[in-house]
Structure 1
Amino acid sequence: MHFDLPDLRLFIHVSEALSLTGGARRASLSTAAASTRIKSLEGQLGSRLFYRGSQGVELTPAGEKLLKHARAIMRQVEYVKSDFSNYSNSEVGHIRIFANTTAVTEFMPEVLADFLGRRPGITIDLQERLTNDIFRGVLDGAADFGVTSGEIKIRGLEVLPFSMDRLVVVVPSSHPLETGETIFFQQTLEYPHVGLHEGSTLLQFLKAQVTELGVYLPLRIQVFGFEPACRMIEAGVGIGILPESSALRYQRTMDLSIVRLKDDWATRERSVVVRELDSLPESSKELIKAIRDFHDYKE
């Protein structure tokens, strides 16, 4: 059985686009040529890889399995290219990172700005993902590494802690909760909340907590980002559960108060997760080091 790398790359493009035409366009091929190559690949494997319909294509179980292998193979090819690029004087490569909301909005922009400023040949794909999607993406090879918070109960990943992430209650000035005492999360549920968008890891985490309590999260409004959330809180729209680092930053320019939570889960460890650190290209290792060094300096 013989696989051509261009065919595997085309297969990945079609799988991600959920369209033969879209995948062919990404691979700079005609739709007819792409269809011929996919059929040839199916013939070699003796398995159907896609269900074809009027709205596009959908992976079969065999296609799902091949996608994991194909991503791993192409990722390894990129690792080889990156490692051997070190023999030249230019650093080149591409790094894909899946990260939670706090990482994407709070510290990764600053880390990446410095990192990329010193490495013009590196490109980065930073994607905000839910916690389980971060784990799955790293395990499947869809991401080089992930950045997440909280307890990690999954096998097959190396976990590299780098700082603590404390969640706090942010309230407008003169709010009833502004007593100077720590409170339990359940006490905040008596008041309307300002929450993040549905795709945020923080919102999903809080929804899991209220599910355990057997109640619901009284969301009054949902916004994209911590700054809009703080502006809504300052205006009296509601209260919010946010990372303390974000709350402290916006408290400098907004009329906000911060109340700490008594719940054990309110203090979480931030970690980088990788499938195998030693197998990563040097550029990825250097970025992980930059993330850890940044927090060693800041906290």
Structure 2
Amino acid sequence: MIFDFRLKVFQTVAQKLSFTKAASALFITQPAVTRHIHELEKQLNAALFVRNGNHISLTAAGNILLKHSIKIFETYLLIENELAQLSDGLKGNLRIGASTTLAQTVIPKILALFKKTYPEIQFTFTRGNTEAITQQVIDGKIDVAMVEGQMHYPQISYEKFSDDELVLVTKSENPLAWKGEIAPQELKDLSLVLREHGSGTLDVISKALSEVGIGLKDLKIELQLESNISIKQYLIHSGAAAFLSMQTIIEELKRNELSIVDIKGVEIVRTFQFIQLHGRSSKVIESFKSFCRGHINS
């Protein structure tokens, strides 16, 4: 890949907030990292980091540079991908994983397009809840995965993939749907269907509700199911409600089978992330991630 190595050094330090860890990741010495940062600060005439003993943080200028450097390297990857298609293209093997919501919605289409664009890349695909997929990445059974949830492990690298909104839904004939909006405390009176333990979706819901003083133990949980498809089918034939991704209910909303019920003052937005083991990146993995970002809304 063509890039300014000095900018790569900055981005690595900014993301790890450690000169030592950046040096290890880039396979250079710590004095070399320090020298590159000093030269970049001199070139830009701006301090990029605030140094406080063994701890560092980004300055305002550093935050601006980090934001744009991420876009710059994504553009470099797009250039590399398009140029590769003019030659023999990428080759290799890739083990891909995704948490349940993504595996049922956007990922199948992206995989089909990726296979068409890079026919020489052989890949396998594994789906499961966030906890299960994360463990397979840790065990070295999956090269790169896309998950949601709040879990963070030190041996795993996390990068943003996309955002998604979770909404409360019920079947359109349910009197609850006619209300249109409820107060957060009214959730305690509803029969709810939730995802299973270990689900990233459940983690996100739990965190969002805790911010308005509601714990999972306060809810009337009618059932827990392991997929959004199962939950949707259950809702259509019951009087229950559930939190589901907007991406999973578009067709049901069009057919007026399900309706959204707003919760006053509550907005549940989660971030889907790429995960992989630190130091296990490759040209194929980076190209796959770049391809996914470019086709998330295609």
TM-score by length of 2: 0.57
Aligned-partner residue type, residue 270 of structure 1? F
Alignment length (residue pairs): 209
| Aligned-partner Cα distance in 1 for 2:266–2:293 | 24
**Structure 1 residue 183: Cα displacement:** 4.2
Aligned-partner residue type, residue 161 of structure 2? F
Aligned-partner residue type, residue 286 of structure 1? S
Superposition map of 1:229-244 within 5 A: 229-244=231-246
**Structure 1 residue 236: Cα displacement:** 2.9
| Aligned-partner Cα distance in 1 for 2:92–2:222 | 44
SS of structure 2 residue aligned to 1:236: coil
SS of structure 1 residue aligned to 2:190: coil
Between 1:195-204 and 1:237-246, the stretch displaced more is: 195-204
| Aligned-partner Cα distance in 2 for 1:234–1:213 | 26
- The verdict on how the C-alpha distance between 1:116 and 1:134 changes in structure 2, with shifts beyond 3 A counting, is same
Superposition map of 1:61-80 within 5 A: none
| Aligned-partner Cα distance in 1 for 2:124–2:188 | 37
- The verdict on how the C-alpha distance between 1:252 and 1:224 changes in structure 2, with shifts beyond 3 A counting, is farther
Contact map agreement 1:195 1:240 (CA 8 A) in 2? yes
Superposition map of 1:269-280 within 5 A: 269-276=271-278, 279-280=280-281
**Structure 1 residue 161: Cα displacement:** 0.9
| Aligned-partner Cα distance in 1 for 2:138–2:265 | 31
- CA deviation string 1:144-190 (max 9, x = no partner): 12212244533233221122121111112243433232543x63342
- Partner of 1:180 in structure 2? 180
SS of structure 1 residue aligned to 2:181: coil
**Structure 1 residue 107: Cα displacement:** 0.9
| Aligned-partner Cα distance in 2 for 1:214–1:220 | 12
Q: Percent identity?
A: 22
Give ranges in structure 2 of 5+ residues lacking alignment. 1-83
**Structure 1 residue 230: Cα displacement:** 2.2
**Structure 1 residue 108: Cα displacement:** 0.7
- Partner of 2:141 in structure 1? 142
Residue from 248, 251, 262 that aligns with 1:249: 251
| Aligned-partner Cα distance in 2 for 1:158–1:262 | 35
Between 1:169-178 and 1:106-115, the stretch displaced more is: 169-178
| Aligned-partner Cα distance in 2 for 1:159–1:238 | 35
| Aligned-partner Cα distance in 1 for 2:251–2:245 | 10
- Partner of 1:117 in structure 2? 116
Superposition map of 1:80-229 within 5 A: 89=88, 91-178=90-177, 179-181=179-181, 183-184=183-184, 187-196=186-195, 200-203=199-202, 213=215, 215=217, 218-221=220-223, 225-229=227-231
**Structure 1 residue 133: Cα displacement:** 3.6
- The verdict on how the C-alpha distance between 1:246 and 1:97 changes in structure 2, with shifts beyond 3 A counting, is same
| Aligned-partner Cα distance in 2 for 1:275–1:158 | 6
- Partner of 1:46 in structure 2? none
| Aligned-partner Cα distance in 2 for 1:199–1:155 | 19
| Aligned-partner Cα distance in 1 for 2:134–2:264 | 28
**Structure 1 residue 272: Cα displacement:** 0.8
| Aligned-partner Cα distance in 1 for 2:96–2:241 | 31
Aligned-partner residue type, residue 180 of structure 2? G
Q: Which runs of 4+ in 1 moved over 6 A?
A: 207-212
| Aligned-partner Cα distance in 1 for 2:265–2:104 | 24
- The verdict on how the C-alpha distance between 1:194 and 1:165 changes in structure 2, with shifts beyond 3 A counting, is same
| Aligned-partner Cα distance in 2 for 1:234–1:166 | 21
Contact map agreement 1:97 1:144 (CA 8 A) in 2? yes
- Partner of 1:291 in structure 2? 292
**Structure 1 residue 266: Cα displacement:** 2.0
- The verdict on how the C-alpha distance between 1:132 and 1:255 changes in structure 2, with shifts beyond 3 A counting, is closer
- CA deviation string 1:84-127 (max 9, x = no partner): xx9x9364322222321111111111110111122233232222
SS of structure 2 residue aligned to 1:154: coil
Superposition map of 1:27-38 within 5 A: none
- Partner of 2:60 in structure 1? none
For the pair 1:266 / 2:265, whether they are aligned, the reply is no
- The verdict on how the C-alpha distance between 1:183 and 1:242 changes in structure 2, with shifts beyond 3 A counting, is farther
Contact map agreement 1:167 1:261 (CA 8 A) in 2? no
